[in-house]
Amino acid sequence: MLRINNIKIVKDLQENDLIEYVCNKFKIHPSDIISWNISKKSIDARKKDDVHYVFSIDIKVKNSKKYKKFQYVENYEFPKISVNRRSIFNPIIIGAGPAGLFAALILVQNGIKPIIIEQGKSVEERQKDVNNFIENGILNTHSNVQFGEGGAGTFSDGKLTTGINNPLCKKVIEEFYKFGAPQEILYVSKPHIGTDNLIKIIHNMREYIISKGGQFLFNEKVIDFTIKNEAIKSVIYQNTLNNSISEIETDTIILAIGHSARDTFEKLYEKGFKMEKKNFSVGVRIEHNQKMINNSQYGTITKLNLPPAEYKLACHLPNGRSCYTFCMCPGGSVIASSSQAKSIVTNGMSNFLRNGTNSNSALLVNVVPEDFKDNSPLSGIYFQKDLEEKAFKLGGNNYYAPIQRVEDYFKNIPSNHIGSIIPTYTPGVTLSNLNTILPDFVNDTLKYGIISFDKKIKGFADPDAILTGVETRSSSPVRIIRNENLNSNIKGVYPCGEGAGYAGGIMSAAVDGIKCAIEILERK
């Protein structure tokens, strides 16, 4: 394949028009083309009077000698796995989020049949519980935005961007596409899937895994482990519907429990798993009018039919604190994401088209282990829990979220009205003063950040912008220690993904699941 990079396109083109333009510009004869595809598409909006697309195109040609001036690339191939596993036991995967699902996928593609244990429901049934909570305020503590097939990322924007540079990311993208994601995720610079697509994709992944011999045990919560001579022997789980208890013997567990499995963290600590506190972040969701974000990022001159604009912002204070945006959802909504009774947790969600009126983003402040006097590795969990319970009380003890206009937040007074930006959180909101529940270092850093970000996106500090509290689950506050072979101090247990402290989002969690599966397959 020859690759042509940095192709500037100043108008919206259909695929046939695009390849015709490329052939004309770079003097490629159409009859020489065997096949072609877009390898990358991005938007360059640095100059608001010259907003344009930038493409990279891969073309397979009959006579490559005619086109020596172009760069040639090899097609990506997933590395060959040497399957050495000979155990008579099924590997157990605890958790059906991206880490668990991609671990299961790699295992069944190589002839090993895992058992996936998930305390939540299948994604279709889980969606009903999520809708019941966001519409009626009725929380199912085992099936919600945090727990259930697909993991927390299912009810988000479905971003596939990541800070890691790992060739396995290509495998993740290709598998998502194979199971029903839009084709554009293969080449756009900032791919996303959207909640509406993720629900269908996860269903298709499950059906494939089952067709290859994998098993799913939904509504089953892991409550204990049998450990002998510092090696795993069995996992014990309880049905969340009838409380029946079962046990499966195994020598291999992938611990893909997610960042909200607090009961499981406590059980692991009790059983002697080595764990440590890690950095995490807390803050709020901030909502703006999406049209304002579009105008700020793209300007008002372009005639291109551009997607809703995104942003990613960060600033660093002299005292070592940082404020940054996370999981920005263009045209999305703020979603009720609690998993424990009498607590408020927020997150952001978008469908694939991102066609809502508002944008929202997490606005976060870093929290470090030194912030806690308690030496317990679980102290960050208790910090999160305290904030979530305070938000529940401030909101009215009814799963209404406390909200505040930005102007009132800076004045440290409760809001008494909603302005031009209408909050999207349901089942309801309560006008409040978020200063009263957030720690001083969080309030000070958030205010510094809002002012700083307004210099980059004019209107970020809009007096009517809405802050919704609290955002506490952006990452796990705990890391379960593992060695160079990805094994914990308990032989046969592989801490994996975001909950174990080794990922931060759908893509990196899926990659970590693949890495753990390969380690299990190749282990003799």
Please write the tens of the pLDDT for every residue from 437-457.
999 999 999 999 999 999 999
Length of the chain: 524
pLDDT of residue 64: 81
Complete domains list, the chain, with CATH:
2-72 (3.30.70.2700), 92-276+476-522 (3.50.50.60), 279-471 (no CATH)
Q: What is the mean pLDDT of residues 165-172?
A: 94
- Tell me the chain's radius of gyration from C-alpha atoms: 24
The pTM is what? 0.96
45-75 confidence digits (pLDDT tens): 999 999 999 999 999 999 888 888 888 888 8
**pLDDT > 70: percent of the chain:** 100
pLDDT of residue 87: 96
pLDDT of residue 63: 82
pLDDT of residue 142: 97
Q: What would the DSSP string read from start to end of 305-363?
A: -PPPP----EEE-TTS-EEEEEEEETT-EEEE---STT---EEEE--TT--SSEEEEEE
Q: 129 pLDDT band (50/70/90 cuts)? A: very high
pLDDT of residue 12: 96
pLDDT of residue 67: 87
DSSP letter (8 states) at residue 192: B
Residue 392 clears pLDDT 90, i.e. is over it: yes
Q: 436 pLDDT band (50/70/90 cuts)? A: very high
Using alpha carbons, select from 147, 152, 90, 138 the residue that is nearest to residue 120.
147
Element (H, E) at 41: strand 33-44
pLDDT of residue 174: 96
When the pLDDT of each residue in the chain is averaged and rounded to a whole number, the result is: 96
pLDDT of residue 454: 98
Q: What is the mean pLDDT of residues 171-177?
A: 97
